[in-house]
Structure 1
Amino acid sequence: MLLFNVFGITINKMEKKITGRGGPGRGQGRKPLPEGEAMVPVTVKLLPKQRDKLKRLGGGPWIRGKIDGEKETEPPSLIETAKP
């Protein structure tokens, strides 16, 4: 039986078995979001000082909280905005 060690993995050449650590990690990585909740990237142009403030406030999670917490209103009609 011929054994040798490569990067912490013991290989048995006679039986062609690899023992020790290694292999795919089960359950690794980010879990998928439920159907219909996938996020989409959005680009916003900011001044450098605004970008820095956004980072301090919490970035994306802070923006999502602000949007979710805001009450929706009907946009003004064109007739209302044209009144003198």
Structure 2
Amino acid sequence: MEINPVFARRLYLCWLISHSERPNVPYLMASTGWPRRTLQDVLKALPGLGVELQFVQQGVRNNDGFYQLESWGPLNKSWINQHHLALLAAIA
């Protein structure tokens, strides 16, 4: 199965957010090994796929919180859950 790495990165990030308790930027950077800018670009692109992502503010500092996946939109959550390792391999 040939998967576009850019698309795979977006799908994998959705999977990672949905399987993490409080996925914030530092956690996602550590989990993926991606630089902050790459991670921010991928997060910004998700609504373009129809994915509803919410930032849950926690604490007093600006951007002190975590991301929460509200809706997968047109993406097939079951397929992504089954193929998250193949998505990760396509990114590497």
TM-score normalised by length of structure 2: 0.19
Name the structure with the higher helix share: 2
**Which structure is richer in relative contact order (CA contacts within 8 A, separation 6 or more)?**
2
The structure number with the bigger radius of gyration is 1
**TM-score by structure 1 length?**
0.20
